[in-house]
């Protein structure tokens, strides 16, 4: 009888240990902590200019990342015609608390208007610094000056993005319109803004950098 009692106790203890082990080793369910919220902060290139909101860069990038298994939401904070000065002025109220990262895409209108590159640099630098102070990660989307602005302007403007990315240790996507500029099939009739095909090309090229950005955010 004593042996039988010991055996029952042993089996009960084994069952409890197995149950505990099963709980400990069960797959961790996805929680809200796994979700990442990004803001696409930019100008008309971000703001789905002359397109449906669902066809714009933030919506299409979000869809592409979700298809690849990422729990991500991308808020469109693009304003057509915005310059870096305008972006700096609206930065705080356009990017609410709780945002994990910002895709910062501004500067194209500065170049088109021939604004001083040093002012563009100053504004972008202020935005990056302010976002980092708030604990918000930054992915800098670069822009290139139009060739008709002259070699001197082009050299000064094009250096802004890689130099700021290096200074503040933020990831850089060198040219936001890569694969689209100069290709009529990718542009609206104005020859400047991407059409739906252009947006899809931009997203396809941008996804690898965006995935690295998400990994960095989660690692922090």
Mean pLDDT of 129-142: 98
Q: What is the pLDDT of residue 12?
A: 40
Range of the domain at 81: 32-219
CATH number of the domain that residue 169 is part of: 3.40.50.1110
Average the pLDDT over 13-34 and give the result: 41
pLDDT at 196 over 60: yes
pLDDT at position 31: 42
pLDDT tens digits, residue range 56-106?
999 999 999 999 999 999 999 999 999 999 999 999 999 999 999 999 999
Check pLDDT > 80 for residue 28: no
Evaluate whether residue 15 is within a structural domain: no
With respect to residue 202, please indicate whether it lies within any of the assigned structural domains. yes
2 within some domain: no
**Is residue 14 assigned to a domain?**
no
Catalytic-role residue among 44, 76, 100, 110: 44
Residue 19 has pLDDT above 50, yes or no: no
pTM for the full predicted model: 0.85
146 part of a folded domain: yes
What pLDDT, in 10s, does the model give residues 115-128?
Answer: 999 999 999 999 99
Share the mean pLDDT of the chain. Answer: 88
- Whether 78 maps to a domain, the answer reads yes
Domain count, the chain: 1
In a domain, 6, yes or no: no
Look at residue 33 in the predicted model and tell me its pLDDT.
58
193 is catalytic: yes
- pLDDT, one tens digit per residue, over 142-159 is 999 999 999 999 999 999
pLDDT at 34: 81
Indicate whether 22 belongs to any domain: no
The question of whether 11 is a catalytic residue gets the answer no
SS (H, E, C) the chain: CHHHHHHHHHHHHHHHHHHHHHHHHCCCCCCHHHCEEEEEEECCCCCCCCCCHHHCHHHHHHHHHHHCCCCEEEEEEECCCCCHHHHHHHHHHHCCCCCCEEEEECCHHHHHCCCCHHHHHHHHHHHHHHHHHCCCEEEEECCCCCHHHCHHHHHHHHCHHHHHHHHHCCCEECCCCCCCCCCHHHECCCCCCECHHHHHHHHHHHHHHHHHHHHHHHHC
């Amino acid at each position: 009888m004593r042996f039988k009692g010991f055996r029952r106790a042993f089996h009960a203890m084994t069952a409890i240990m197995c149950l505990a082990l099963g709980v400990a080793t069960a797959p961790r369910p996805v929680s809200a902590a796994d979700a990442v919220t990004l803001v696409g902060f930019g100008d008309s290139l971000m703001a789905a200019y002359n397109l449906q909101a669902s066809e714009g860069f933030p919506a299409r990038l979000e869809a592409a990342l979700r298809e690849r298994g990422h729990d991500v939401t991308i808020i469109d904070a693009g304003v057509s015609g915005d310059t870096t000065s305008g972006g700096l002025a609206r930065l705080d109220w356009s990017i609410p608390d709780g945002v994990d990262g910002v895709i910062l895409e501004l500067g194209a209108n500065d170049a088109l208007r021939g604004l001083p590159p040093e002012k563009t640099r100053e504004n972008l630098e202020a935005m990056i610094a302010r976002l980092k102070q708030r604990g918000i990660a930054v992915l800098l989307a670069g822009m290139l000056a139009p060739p008709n602005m002259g070699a001197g302007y082009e050299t000064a403007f094009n250096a802004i993005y890689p130099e700021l990315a290096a200074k503040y240790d933020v990831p850089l996507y060198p040219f936001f319109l890569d694969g689209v500029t100069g290709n009529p099939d990718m542009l609206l009739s104005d020859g400047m803004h991407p059409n739906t095909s252009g947006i899809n090309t931009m997203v396809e090229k941008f996804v690898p950098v965006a995935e690295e950005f998400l990994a960095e955010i989660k690692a922090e």
